[in-house]
Structure 1
Amino acid sequence: MDSYEDERGGGAAEPPVSSAVPPPPRVPGIAGLATPYRVVAALALGAVAAAACAHLALVFLHVAPSNTVSKQHAKTVDDWIYPEFEQNWKLFAPNPLQQNIAVEVRAQVRTAAGELVTTDWRDLSAEDAAAIRHSLLPSHTEQNELRRAWDFFTGSHDDDNNPNGERGELSEQYLRRIAVARLTPEHVERAGGRLLQIQLRSATTAVAAPKWSDENTDTQTYYRELPWWTV
């Protein structure tokens, strides 16, 4: 076996040490990026932080008692909050709802073969309930999107389904958008058809009184049909 000999012949010597300088340690996080990327990352984080602060400020003005700022910027606050970010405190109401309200939809579809078909009523509320039942982490959308959209519609329309304020048209657009999003995969993407019109209705059934109560409750289901809406 070859070995390194020292000048004095005293046996094996240590191999020569390399004079190469080790690379500097890698800096983690944004600081380890090149300057242009650090600038882009800083700008992106700043934009996200500004958007989050603006959203929180608008939500605060929406839920806070009426004040000079909220009155002056009421339209801006409403345009941002409604309908997706509307705040509601019914969870803490002393008189909880005593009705089961299901939102159903049907559609007129032009099939791939050219035939005009009116579908059966489809219970969208039942689909949401099935999706969240026994789920440890139920979706906020499946719990509240459709329910709040229907509350939004009924709160901005009279019993004849006529809008009673400026928010009526917005509530119709919101409800129609949700229904079309639910129907499109089945009738358009899978069957190759085309949605022409949709119609929604609510099915309201009172919750039966408990067995120990003497109260008589009408548990018949009552329907409220909306007009056909063109998609």
Structure 2
Amino acid sequence: MQSTQGPPPRVAALSLPGRIAVAATVGAVTVGALLHLGMVFLHVAPSNTLSKEHATAVNDYIYPEFEQNWKLFAPDPLQQNVHIQARAEVRKPGGAVVATGWVDMTGMDISAMRHDPIPSHTQQNELRRAWGFYTDTHDQQEQPTASNRSEISREYLQRILQKRFGPRLNGGDVVRIQARAATTPVPQPSWIAGSTATSTQYRVLPWWNVDSAPASGSAPATSTTPSGQETAS
């Protein structure tokens, strides 16, 4: 028995406003995709006249969400375990200000990813890349080295940590947060001569005042609320 259902509607069967809407949507998506690919290409391509002329616009578009790097293919890959830790100052209802212990944010991310066959890209990279972005634009004295990108990187890292702590913690209001990185070298394989130091080194950042407005950073990678657990110092 032959079906009496007609063919699916086509663009040509749409009204004039409908065809204009479809064409505009397709055009906008195409332009957006081409713009994104062009910006990424200029960012990763060898330095040239075009990338130098539009360096500011390219960097403003790429950082921090679309940053690219080649560390996976580097001849000397990363040989350190870096854990980002943070603590908060909490103002209690009576006015007293109490500091929490250091909370291992990276450890929380790793715990959330463990045994998850398809962990999210955010869980794996959000905090790690935020720290990398910060260290790429600040020296060891925490002074900016990349003009406007330095401030963007600091705000980006602060917003992520601020979002994870939340506005209230341990019965009080979070008023300041502080971050540090605990870096532990990965031991060399037994067949390589020489020894590698395995002691953990800390890079401690200054205290940052928490904005009164709700943080607009990315959502936390885990629903576990930091409770001020202490880590080794």
TM-score range, shorter chain: 0.7 to 0.9
What is the aligned counterpart of 1:82 among 53, 60, 63?
Answer: 63
For residues 200 and 182 of structure 1, the distance between their equivalents in structure 2, rounded to whole angstroms, comes to 12
What is the aligned counterpart of 2:156 among 155, 158, 174?
Answer: 174
Q: Rg: which structure is higher?
A: 1
CA displacement 1:71-130 (0-9 Å, x = unmatched): 111111111011111110000011122211100011112346655332221111112212
Q: How does 1:16-95 map to 2 (within 5 A)?
A: 25=6, 27-28=8-9, 30=11, 33-95=14-76
Contact 1:99 1:204 in 2 (8 A): yes
What is the aligned counterpart of 1:118 among 90, 95, 99?
Answer: 99
What is the aligned counterpart of 1:162 among 121, 133, 143?
Answer: 143
Q: Which structure 2 residue ranges, 5 or more long, are not aligned?
A: 211-233
- CA shift at 1:136, angstroms? 2.4
Residues 111 and 44 from structure 1, CA distance in 2 versus in 1: closer, same or farther, beyond 3 angstroms?
farther
Residues 213 and 67 from structure 1, CA distance in 2 versus in 1: closer, same or farther, beyond 3 angstroms?
closer
Contact 1:149 1:175 in 2 (8 A): yes
Contact 2:134 2:150 in 1 (8 A): yes
Higher relative contact order (CA 8 A, sep 6+): 2
Aligned equivalent of 2:174: 195
Does the residue aligned with 1:144 lie in a helix, a strand or coil? helix
Residues 106 and 36 from structure 1, CA distance in 2 versus in 1: closer, same or farther, beyond 3 angstroms?
same
Contact 1:26 1:32 in 2 (8 A): no
For residues 114 and 182 of structure 1, the distance between their equivalents in structure 2, rounded to whole angstroms, comes to 23
For residues 150 and 84 of structure 1, the distance between their equivalents in structure 2, rounded to whole angstroms, comes to 13
190-199 or 123-132, which moves further after superposition?
190-199
For residues 174 and 196 of structure 1, the distance between their equivalents in structure 2, rounded to whole angstroms, comes to 18
Aligned partner of 1:67: which letter?
N
Q: Which structure 1 residue ranges, 5 or more long, are not aligned?
A: 1-22
Does the residue aligned with 1:55 lie in a helix, a strand or coil? helix
CA displacement 1:146-190 (0-9 Å, x = unmatched): 111111211221211111231222211111111112111xx53x8
TM-score if structure 1 supplies the norm length? 0.78
35-44 or 84-93, which moves further after superposition?
35-44
TM-score if structure 2 supplies the norm length? 0.78
1:230 aligns with 2:209: yes
1:218 aligns with 2:197: yes
Q: How does 1:127-146 map to 2 (within 5 A)?
A: 127-146=108-127
For residues 141 and 218 of structure 1, the distance between their equivalents in structure 2, rounded to whole angstroms, comes to 31
For residues 170 and 85 of structure 2, the distance between their equivalents in structure 1, rounded to whole angstroms, comes to 21
- CA shift at 1:214, angstroms? 5.3
Residues 28 and 227 from structure 1, CA distance in 2 versus in 1: closer, same or farther, beyond 3 angstroms?
same
What is the aligned counterpart of 2:89 among 92, 108, 115?
Answer: 108
For residues 31 and 182 of structure 1, the distance between their equivalents in structure 2, rounded to whole angstroms, comes to 50
For residues 10 and 101 of structure 2, the distance between their equivalents in structure 1, rounded to whole angstroms, comes to 56
Aligned equivalent of 1:11: none
CA RMSD of aligned residues (A): 2.5
Q: Percent identity?
A: 51
Residues 95 and 40 from structure 1, CA distance in 2 versus in 1: closer, same or farther, beyond 3 angstroms?
same
Does the residue aligned with 1:158 lie in a helix, a strand or coil? coil
- CA shift at 1:32, angstroms? 5.8
